[in-house]
Structure 1
Amino acid sequence: MSWSPEECKGQEEPLGDRHALCARLVENPGSGSAEQSEAGPGPIVTCTASGPALAFWQALLAGDVGLVSHILADSGTGLAPDSIFDISNPERWRDFRYNIRALRLWSLTYEEELITPLHVAASRGHIEVLRLLLRWRARPDMAPAGRTALHEACAAGHADCVHVLLVAGADPNIPDQDGNCPLHLCRGSSILECAELLLRFGAKVDSRSEEEEETPLHVAARLGHVELADLLLRWGACLDARDAEGWTPLLIACDTRCMSPADAEATTARCLQLCRLLLSAGADANAADQDKRRPLHLACRRGHAAVVELLLAYGVSVNIMDYGGHTALHYALQGPPSALAQSPENVVRALLNHGAVRVWPGALPKVLERWCASPRTIEVLMNTYSVMKLPEEAVGLVPPETLQKHHRFYSSLFTLVRQPRSLQHLSRCALRAHLEACLPHALPRLPLPPRLLHYLQLDFEDVLY
């Protein structure tokens, strides 16, 4: 950061450390009155944490509006509503700074963490302290460390503080040091209220973060927040906006991962709701990122069977490839181990019933080894072949404990390696092959009993014959 000659006027010796520099930037201390903010450049004071500065800091943290008011009214303290604290060292609040310049003061070193009283009040939800500081003409858009108080209030989810700051003139479109506007940072239980306030006060619904080039709708998709996405869409958010990696909000939603098996059901439900919202609003179901990965590829990778069914209902191509030549079925079978909690057999079954090209027989042993803990995934794959295409030594690919746990299924599987499939199964294969081009549409229209129809659609029986 460079300083103008006027700011550095009066310096006769070389610049010392950063605290000495700050102390010399201005000449005349202010009076501590409410009129200070109109007085032009004022002093930056550095002092220890044993006097009024510490008392001021503690009062701000506690939300003690009476003590904050008393300290500000005491001109002898030299403290003001636009004071800047350096809290880089939390063990001793060493640096106290007062600055009333209109320009944002950025950190002089990467180690600094600068904060104003307004930031403290906004981040902690101390609404009365916030109002007091603004009455003393604290500048709502000061960002000594790159963030304004509005960023802090949004990130903490304090909607009442967001409202007070916006009414006081805070700019909802100022980016922070990471290039995020307040609308990108809304979190907490009041996320919807904060976002709507920002939009009503002029926040740009499609503002972009600096590096990722994400819009708030991208953020809502990553959070899996259906209501926030709906709000942004009602305010005209661009459905198919692309970030720096070419990802649309729908791509992000389909790539939602489960943090744990216990979280799988809730995660899939949110993902489905969000995808249904985006698609019904007109999102491109075939939008591809820079690697030509599409929503179907990503939903298969994460094992979101309901989302896969939804995308297939929108007519997406089941066999379209990414740049690496991988189809949706490849993604489903190469997904992470965590996809086991998502019942991957349902994804594989849906793809095969919509005409997915079968796995190359030579790759079946590798698939068996990877997915042996999900016997239904193996079952649905094997039921698309008229002949069991596994070598006899494939039994060694399944751990003994898995063989024991699913004894009935694996016994039938390895028995069929040496025997022909049943006539019933061969008839199923023949009919599916005949209807291959229109399989998903033709099967439901056949005048067949439900049980037979389900059989043709590869329903699970937990045994092979």
Structure 2
Amino acid sequence: MSPGSFVFSSKALRSLQLDEDMLERHDYKRRMASHHLLSYALKKEARDRTPLRANVAPRPYVCRDVVIQNALYTGNLEAMQRLFPRGSSAGLIIEPQGGEMRWVARGEGLWSLTYEQELTTPLHITAGRGFTECLRLLLQRGASVDLAPGGITALHESCVRCEPECTRLLLVHGADANAVSDDGHMPLHLCSNPESFECAKHLLQYGAAINARTADEDDTPLHVAARNGLTDHVELYLRYGAAADKKNHEGLTPLNAACSQPQELQDLQRYLGLCRILMKAGADIRSMDQDRRTPLHMACKNANADLVELLLANGASVNEMDYGGEAPMHNILKVVCYKLAHSPERVVRALLNHGSIRVWPGALPKVLKHCSQSPRTIEVLLNAYSQLKVTDTWVESVPPEVFEEHREFYESVFSLARTPRSLQHLSRCKLRVFLEGRLDKVVPRLDLPTIIKNYLLLDYRGYIH
């Protein structure tokens, strides 16, 4: 026996033989697919015209003919008119040939390579690819509009693929706008991107349930739209009576879902506008999920400064603790180094100006190490204290490369080890303590120069004094 070989057991040899037999059968099916189209169509038409018992719907049969499949997948209307002549039925279930191969257990410890297959119908294929005329032909030939051999209907498929004309055509022909897929979703739950807006409109016009829940997450369509930042969908659903404060199984309202969704820099304004719409519709800004996290906790975690300011201006609780004992300030400080482009210092500033708890002074070196790449965040934090005990630990907390990049700022911080805070800063701290909890409302109304107002509200100067 060669070093690179091994002994096959009898079961292994039998499994390999089964694989060979399966591949031979597959080649035979491919050869059979070349039979004459007209013969196939005539047999199919005769079968469709066989008398049936009253009130018994014709049972769809499985079609493996690659010629019919090619006509469907390419939207070849002329070929489909030949394959589905007048009087014929389009009640087929398609079992595609080919695709990926996978190992499947055959019993007695044997495994065999088998092509992955997913049952579908001609309606699914044409509706999902936007072949409107082909879809119309199939519907005229009596295709079952709500057939779901793969677990979803053709209407689900057209909504997933954002094909509004196909969606409308299916609904006109009686498709159930509230059909539930095997995974517990109605078509409206699958309208999850901006291009699906017209599909959502058609569904609602044909009676889609606006507050229907998914089976797994207990989401309403409004949850889906809010989570995906779909402002137009949210406005549409609210006009149709969507409930703004329904909670899913995690305790998330649509507002919570929107605030908690990870947001890139280009997404911030979109989610801000969406949350403003939800709040105008009556969404509760103090609503908590099952971990007692509020929209403010989540907006801070995403470092969406404008959204944080909006929530605070409308009465969000700045010091609410979640089940982990963390306030919104904790959430923003944990993500500063990952959200530098989001201007995290604006979030910290807004929280402090609305009365947020401050960092325990003993933990400042740890915060300094974690947030040192954002000098403005450090500046805002340190300016909330009238006195600071700067030690060598502070110096060691700032990486050398960060210190070199922001040398002027960190030299001003470390100089506090030898110099007390300025009288100007001490006056600011005294006034802030006096106005605590009212800073955001009182300071803008004071008859003072704008530069002084900004100074009181912890504006940035690029150094500590």
Q: Is the pair's TM-score, using the shorter chain for normalization, greater than 0.5?
A: yes
Q: Deviations over 1:259-316 (max 9, x none)?
A: xxxx40x211011101100001110010000010000010011100000000011111
Question: In structure 1, what residue type is equivalent to 2:74?
Answer: A
**Counterpart of 2:381?**
381
* Partner in structure 2 of residue 199 of structure 1: 204
Whether the 8 Å contact between 2:193 and 2:228 is mirrored in structure 1 is no
Give the AA of the match of 2:170: L
State the distance in 1 between where 2:319 and 2:358 align. 10
Mapped contact 1:30–1:43 kept (Cα < 8 A) = no
- Aligned counterparts, 1:172-211, within 5 A: 172-187=177-192, 190-211=195-216
> Are 1:223 and 2:228 matched, yes or no?
yes
In the TM superposition, residue 33 of structure 1 has moved relative to its aligned partner by 4.5
Contact kept, 8 Å, 2:126 with 2:132, in 1: the verdict is yes
Paired with 2:192 and 2:50, the residues of 1 have a C-alpha distance of 35
1:116 is aligned to: 121
RMSD (Å), alpha carbons? 2.5
CA shift, 1:32, in A, is 5.2
Distance 1:43 1:384, change over 3 A: closer
User: CA–CA distance in 1 between the matches of 2:167 and 2:279?
Assistant: 32
| 2:67 pairs with one of 55, 66, 70 | 55
Matched, 1:81 2:90: yes
Query: Structure 2: which amino acid aligns with 1:332?
Result: I
- The answer to whether the Cα contact below 8 Å between 2:285 and 2:295 also exists between their aligned partners in 1 is yes
Match of 2:72, as an amino acid?
L
Instruction: Tell me which amino acid in the other structure corresponds to 2:96.
Output: I
Over 3 Å off, 4+ runs: 32-47, 109-112, 187-190
Aligned mates of 1:384, 1:333 — CA distance in 2? 15
Change in CA separation of 1:408 and 1:336 when aligned onto 2, cut-off 3 Å: closer
Q: How far 1:186 sits from its partner (Å)?
A: 1.6
Aligned 1:257-268 pairs, distance under 5 A:
257-258=262-263, 263-264=264-265, 266-268=266-268
Other-structure match for 2:372: 372
In structure 2, the partner of 1:40 is: 57
Residue range with higher mean Cα deviation, 211-220 or 428-437: 428-437
- C-alpha separation in 2, matches of 1:83 and 1:437: 69
Hey, what does 2:428 align to over in structure 1?
A: 428
* Equivalent position amino acid for 2:140 in 1: R
* SS of residue paired to 2:385: coil
Rate the CA distance shift 1:251–1:163 in 2: closer, same or farther, 3 A.
same
Query: Is the Cα contact below 8 Å between 2:246 and 2:253 reproduced in 1?
Result: yes
Distance 1:54 1:124 in 2: 18
Per mean C-alpha deviation after superposition, the further-off stretch among 81-90 and 239-248 is 81-90
After superposition, the Cα gap between the structure-2 partners of 1:239 and 1:43, relative to the gap in structure 1 and judged at 3 Å, is: closer
Distance 2:324 2:158 in 1: 44
* TM superposition score normalised by structure 1: 0.83
Does 2:257 correspond to 1:240?
A: no
What residue in structure 2 maps to residue 213 of structure 1? 218
- For 1:364 and 1:349, the matched residues in 2 are separated by 16
Q: How much does 1:80 deviate?
A: 4.8
Q: Are the structure 2 counterparts of residues 88 and 372 from structure 1 closer, same or farther at C-alpha, using a change threshold of 3 Å?
A: farther
**What code does the residue aligned with 2:84 have?**
L
Q: Which runs of 5+ in 2 are unaligned?
A: 1-21, 26-42, 102-113
Deviation at residue 169 of structure 1 after TM alignment: 0.2
Within 5 Å, which residues of 2 pair with 1:109-188?
Answer: 112-187=117-192
SS in 1 for 2:322: coil
Alignment partner of 2:444: what SS?
A: helix
How far did residue 437 of structure 1 move? 3.6
Q: TM-score, normalised by structure 2?
A: 0.83
Q: CA deviation at 1:160?
A: 0.4
Q: Secondary structure at the match of 2:390?
A: coil
Between the aligned partners of 2:339 and 2:353, the Cα distance in structure 1 is: 20
CA contact 1:150–1:165 (8 Å) conserved in 2: yes
Per the TM alignment, residue 74 of structure 1 is displaced from its structure 2 partner at its CA by: 9.6
- Map 1:337-376 onto structure 2 (within 5 A): 337-376=337-376
Query: Is this contact kept in 2: 1:344–1:377, CA < 8 A?
Result: yes
Query: Aligned pairs, how many?
Result: 411
**CA spacing shift, 1:239–1:442, aligned 2, 3 Å:** same
State how far apart, in whole Å, the 2-side matches of 1:62 and 1:55 are: 11
Shift of 1:191: 1.7
Q: How big is the shift at 1:320?
A: 1.3
Structure 1 distance, partners of 2:178, 2:419, is 70
